[in-house]
Structure 1
Amino acid sequence: MSYVELSFWDLALAALLLIANGVVSVWFRLGLERTLAVSALRMVIQLSIVALALKFIFTLDAPIWTILFGLFMTAAAAFEVVSRQERRIMGPLALALGAGAPFFAGLLATMFAAIAVIGPEPWYAPRYVLPIFGMMLGNALSGTTLVLDAMTSGVVRERPAIEARLALGAGRYEALDAILRRALTTGLMPILTAMAATGVVSLPGMMTGQILAGIDPVSAAKYQVMIMFLIAGSTGIAVVGAGLGSVLLLTDERHRLRLDRLAKA
């Protein structure tokens, strides 16, 4: 089996569906046509640059370029975490938490996959490491964003109850326990939903791409199962790390609630 090469005309035909979305936006006066055009153009440019960069890195097969590209992806993830927060925690520690939780979780899952599961030669081969790290980082980023947003909105909403618990002698983790548990559930819900729906409601992108590229469906399914397990693990690590870290940042060493560390909504 072999895959069907796509031409630029094929991509242009596929873009007709995006134009249909623009027509819907104009028809219903949604005002999203400009956003659709900018988002589509940004996606094409970003994917083109990344494809050329990966082609260059795959050709060199040098660890230093793999590391640099991974750090660039982490920096972009940190920016996304900060920009998606309705009320973000201010300060360098908050930025470090937003970048560190997805990075550590993604790196751990990627190294586990490369060394213990797949075992390519060499184990740091960028053709395997970078795509896996990208999937781990992206999903861990989503979980981290959700848990941080749930924590900041939760402490603002339940400030009187939290301060009452603290005044009665509860520690910061005890006072924020209910909010933390809800935030962790929120952060884990997307991957739980995705695992439950995979194969029944939808065929995931990786499996679909492999099938379209001519890979045997059974082999593609094996890879997809592995990736889903890794994503679930890395997302769980990132969500827990971000949740516990946010408790520390939203309180101080004297176990006082510090809403002054939050930016305005």
Structure 2
Amino acid sequence: MTDGIAEISLTGLMLAFVPVVFVMLILLRWTTVGYETLYAFGRMLLQLTVIGYVLVYIFAASHPAVVLAVLGFMMLVASWVALRASSLPRSQLYLFSLASVALGGGSVLALVSQGVLALDPALEPRYVIPLAGMIFASSMNSISLAAERFEAEFKSKGDYASARGTALRASLIPITNSLFAVGLVSLPGMMTGQILSGVSPLIAARYQIMVMCMMFASAGLSASLFLLLMKSKADTLTDKKAS
């Protein structure tokens, strides 16, 4: 045990991959996306290992400029990944996506870190970076869903207002489902981690409520901003439909 948390040995960690291997074998046999999933797991391993070392440095340095640079990088990547499902070139929508993540997610991060938690220092990396990761990921996913559904709806009906409303509802389905299921079907990561570290379940519940609020808000604000900006691309979608 380390600081109240059960330490995972490398040997123990390997056991977690046993069921993964079974699923991977089934995917390879039944579908054509098995290798893509294998690649995804490879990236996950590399990315988490690298970020582990990077966070050790960031937490030790605890310098505002370093934290801001990390937050900026996270927003840039999230904005790019969010457009994977769009049929339009990413170069045409990237500034829309970036503005939506920065304003929608950034405003929620500022409220949570400076208002709810009242962090001192304001850019305490042990809090700000994990919270930013959850917020920007929520923004990223909602923009991705909103972009895909908006384009499909607008091409089908040609009505911006209707497509916008449908896309916003679709973008909020995952986080809304989580609101219904949290505490009944699952104990989310934030709450589980705190309970495992010895924090009172009542305090852990408060943190998880904060997390659910910030994820819903960031998803809704970012998707809404993106869909408002997408109005200028309606003609482009109409032209693609006609061609």
Match of 1:186 among 149, 160, 170: 170
Show the 5 A alignment for 1:245-260: 245-251=229-235, 259-260=238-239
Percent of aligned pairs with the same amino acid: 24
Task: Please give the secondary structure, in 2, of the residue aligned with 1:111.
Answer: helix
Residue 242 of structure 1 is matched in structure 2 by 226
Higher RCO (Cα < 8 Å, 6 or more apart):
1
Supply the distance in 1 between the matched residues of 2:150 and 2:32 (Cα, whole angstroms).
Answer: 32
Residue 22 of structure 1 is matched in structure 2 by 24
Show the 5 A alignment for 1:69-84: 69-84=70-85
Supply the distance in 1 between the matched residues of 2:51 and 2:17 (Cα, whole angstroms).
Answer: 20
Supply the distance in 1 between the matched residues of 2:82 and 2:24 (Cα, whole angstroms).
Answer: 28
TM-score by length of 1: 0.84
Residue 195 of structure 2 is aligned to residue 216 of structure 1 = no
Shift in alpha-carbon separation, 1:41–1:114, aligned structure 2, 3 A: same
Supply the distance in 1 between the matched residues of 2:30 and 2:111 (Cα, whole angstroms).
Answer: 49
Deviation of 1:91 (Å):
4.3
Letter in 2 for 1:64: A
Residues 136-173 of structure 1, C-alpha deviation per residue, up to 9 Å, x if partnerless?
10011111111111111112112xxx3xxxxxxxxxxx
Show the 5 A alignment for 1:88-99: 88=88, 91-92=91-92, 94-99=93-98
Shift in alpha-carbon separation, 1:84–1:176, aligned structure 2, 3 A: closer
Deviation of 1:95 (Å):
0.8
Q: What RMSD in Å do the two structures reach over aligned CA positions?
A: 2.0
For structure 1, the residue ranges without an aligned partner over 5 or more in a row are 163-174, 252-256
2:80, 2:90 within 8 Å by CA — same for their partners in 1?
no
Deviation of 1:192 (Å):
1.1
Deviation of 1:212 (Å):
2.2
Shift in alpha-carbon separation, 1:58–1:181, aligned structure 2, 3 A: same
Residue 141 of structure 2 is matched in structure 1 by 142
TM-score by length of 2: 0.91
Shift in alpha-carbon separation, 1:32–1:261, aligned structure 2, 3 A: closer
Supply the distance in 1 between the matched residues of 2:232 and 2:97 (Cα, whole angstroms).
Answer: 13
Residue 34 of structure 2 is aligned to residue 50 of structure 1 = no
Residues 227-246 of structure 1, C-alpha deviation per residue, up to 9 Å, x if partnerless?
10111111111111011111
